[in-house]
Amino acid sequence: METLSRGFLHFTTIQYPSMSQIAYYTAEGLKRLKDELHQLKTVERPRISQQIAEARDKGDLSENAEYDAAKEAQGLLEARIAKMEDLVANARLVDESQLDNSKVFILSRVKIRNLNTKAEVEYTLVAENEANLAEKKISVDSPIGKGLLGKKVGDVAEIQAPAGPVKLEILGISR
């Protein structure tokens, strides 16, 4: 986010990653995205409009910090709504029943062994917006996710980590 000042005018610009990219979601992930968008439109938008109206009623807008803050919050909210509308418009629902379990794809539950440490862990590969390490859900766009995609049981994926390459053996694939 960058703020530009021109005299008494202040402009805030927000840059988002390239929009209009197709993203794949589970039914649960797409519902969560739509619910959040609904919340922003039906609760947050009216709340900010009310704040603007209350600040406007206080008189002189040229020196009204509450009004300026509410207008800036409105701009940020509208940008977020636009981004989320774009995400929903480009979302594709993954039909888990049509996925092949012989190779790692999105929504695969993959059991892997780190060949360096011998540690075993199981992850589910999901869309970037659904990733949550605490729930053992990693993004297909993460280095590990990219390295595992398309591999079969018994294959070894070599992942480039900051500390050096890590070799992960695929022990199992399920849904």
DSSP letter for each residue of 75-97: HHHHHHHHHHHHHHHTEEE--GG
Q: How many alpha carbons fall within 13 Å on the CB side of residue 17?
A: 6
Write down the domain spans for the chain: 2-93, 96-174
More confident residue, 100 or 55: 55
pLDDT over threshold 80, residue 12: no
Q: 87 near 25, Cβ under 8 Å?
A: no
Name 114's Cβ contacts closer than 8 Å, sequence gap at least 6.
120, 121, 166, 167, 168
CATH of 2-93 given 1.10.1270.20, 1.10.287.180, 3.90.226.10, 3.30.390.30: 1.10.287.180
User: Which numeric CATH code is attached to 96-174?
Assistant: 3.10.50.30
Compute the mean pLDDT over every residue in the chain, rounded to the nearest whole number. 83
Q: Which of the four pLDDT bands, split at 50, 70 and 90, describes residue 118?
A: very high
Q: What is the C-alpha separation between 112 and 104, in angstroms, rounded? A: 11
Q: What is the C-alpha separation between 72 and 172, in angstroms, rounded? A: 50
Residue 105 is predicted with a pLDDT of 85
Give pTM, 2 decimals: 0.61
More confident residue, 90 or 16: 90
Domains 2-93 and 96-174 share a fold: no
- Paired sense of beta strands 120-126 and 156-161, if any: unpaired
